[in-house]
Amino acid sequence: MGVLLTTFEFINKMDSNGSIQIEEQLAEANKKIDELIEQNMQVNKLSNGDDSQYLRDEIIKMEQKLANANEEKEYYKPQNNGHSSRFMLTNYYSDDFGKELLLANKRKYQLESRVKQLEIELKEAQQRSGRLSELFELEKAQNVRLDAELLEAHKDCLEIRHQLDEAVLQGNILPLLTSVSSKEESQNYELRERLNNVERDYERRLEEMSEAKSKIEWRLGEVMQMYQWELQQEKKNYQKLLENNDKPSISDELERVTQELANKIEEKNRADWRIGELTQLWNDAKWRVGELEAETAHRSILLDEAHHKIGELERRLEGYQPSLEKVDETKILEEMETKYNDTKWRLGELEAELNILNTKEQHLSSELHKTKEHKSKVEWRLGEVMQYLNDAKWRIGELEACLENRNRQLQNIEEIKNELDTLKSLGGDREKWALLTIENTLKSPLKRILFETNSDGDKEIFLLGSFLNWECALICNEIDENKKGVWLDLPVGHYEFCFIKEGKFYTENLYNDCWNEFGTKNNWINLRSLISEYNARKMINCHNLIERIYEGKKKVELVRKKNNNSLNIKITKINLFIKNLNNWGCTVPSKNEQI
């Protein structure tokens, strides 16, 4: 009996889980339908044929989900029929599922009809926008035509004024008045007709645009109201879903629905932004219509002023008519001949002035050409000078860098000299070597020795020996291909040395080798011969040399002052060289030179 009850409880649990899954799928279907409704609200402004196809695909997916839910429902029906007394709750959920299924189908059909209606409204809006664009194009063409007519009327007024002036001079005023009056009447009639036609066209267009505006505003209000209602419904459904679903198994689904709701709100904001843009375009169109109306009014004012001017000219001609009848024709001819002669004389004067001006122009053009050539030469010279200046700046920079490098080297040499000149306490086997220092080299003669070794490529090689206290190394310079070495001036004595390459000690086969106290080998050399050329290069102290040079310079300055700077004294340059045997601390003059 206990096993039977356990089995029934398991079946009841399975049925309840299936009902919960069906409810979850139904809630998801309802949410998806609401999302489709909200997306369809945006079709009127942002969607196109691809969006409609996307909605249809979503509807097909929803139908597939509903079919799967129906299959799952049919699967659980036999179990519910076999245990009707125990599974009343499951049957209750199944009945609710059927009702929800019917409601979902009904909403699906409503959604499809609404999609079709929105597509029709979208096409109508596109047609209205096309008509509005055509109206704008016609309006632009009308403006161009009115500009041309106004320009033509202005030209006619100028022509009439010119004819009136000529008629006054010639005396033929009556036939011109008749022709002008008839022509003006016809032109006035045509202009009035055109103005009336333009006003009627503007009124008709304004009415059409106001009707279109009212329709669009009405439709925008409906869409906004529908958006608000759909949003409220969505919020209510979402709150109900949050209240009824407290299980941790659907937390991921709730997060997904929350994200989708945020996306839909963002899409709604974009739709509102698009509505604002359309409203701005509509306001711009209204502003343009107002500008066109103002321009039309301005042109009508110009036409009225032209008519007023023509009437004034007519009145002036009517006032001239009785006085012209009394004028003697001979007097008029004499005056006209006088004016003709004066005009001819003035024409000759103007031609003479024109010739003078042409001559001046040629002279000025030649001067301008010369000035341009001089300017080009000056610019070329200026470019050369600037280049020289830049080269000088570059050279100054190089010299400053070189001087700084020299100063740094001298400072390093001075530091090394001070270190080597410092008397240290003897330690180890230091006392048994003849060290290469200033004190030792000044006491004994020297001999120049080449320490060389074979090299592989461009690797650096250093020389280390007893003449350097084994505390510092000398870098070997390239002597020949695959051979490096360094020259040293050493006093008489016994020296041991070795080479360093890539951090390793090694000996060279060119020299004798011996064992050291560390169990390795060193090369050794023994100097017994004296240096015959020692007296030719006597070592001097750097400080004494500098003091003697300054004393000679002061003596030359005193002699120049006594002779009022008229004495031309040539100071011979002294070639000095620095030797590494003194740790680069002092210099030695060349042969046959005296300080």
- Per DSSP, the residues of 339-356 read HHHHHHHHHHHHHHHHHH
Burial of 240 (0-12, 13-18, 19+ CB in 10 A): exposed
What was the pLDDT predicted at 401? Answer: 92
Q: pLDDT tens across 421-449, in order?
A: 554 444 444 444 555 555 555 566 778 88
> pTM value?
0.23
What was the pLDDT predicted at 536? Answer: 41
pLDDT of 498 strictly over 90: yes
What was the pLDDT predicted at 164? Answer: 65
pLDDT of 93 strictly over 50: no
pLDDT of 287 strictly over 70: yes
pLDDT of 516 strictly over 50: yes
Q: pLDDT tens across 377-387, in order?
A: 888 988 888 88
What was the pLDDT predicted at 480? Answer: 85
**Phi/psi of residue 515, nearest 5 degrees:** -85, 145
> Between residues 362 and 271, which one has the greater pLDDT?
362
pLDDT band at 43 (very low <50, low <70, confident <90, very high): very low
Cα separation, 551 vs 547, in Å, equals 6
Q: pLDDT tens across 289-308, in order?
A: 777 777 777 777 877 777 77
What is the arithmetic mean of pLDDT over 15-32?
Answer: 54
Cα separation, 526 vs 493, in Å, equals 6
Contact by Cβ (8 Å): 254, 241: yes
What was the pLDDT predicted at 25? Answer: 54
Q: pLDDT tens across 113-169, in order?
A: 766 776 677 677 667 767 776 777 777 777 777 777 777 766 776 776 676 667 666
What was the pLDDT predicted at 227? Answer: 66
Contacts of 191 (CB under 8 A, 6+ apart): 149, 153, 303
pLDDT band at 514 (very low <50, low <70, confident <90, very high): very high
Q: SS3 of 287, please?
A: helix
Contact by Cβ (8 Å): 463, 474: yes
Q: SS3 of 455, please?
A: coil
Tokens coding 559:
């002699």
The string of DSSP letters for 87-107 reads -HHHHHHHHHHHHHHHHHHHH
What was the pLDDT predicted at 177? Answer: 54
> Between residues 412 and 276, which one has the greater pLDDT?
412
Q: pLDDT tens across 210-266, in order?
A: 777 777 778 777 777 776 787 777 667 766 665 665 444 456 666 777 777 777 778
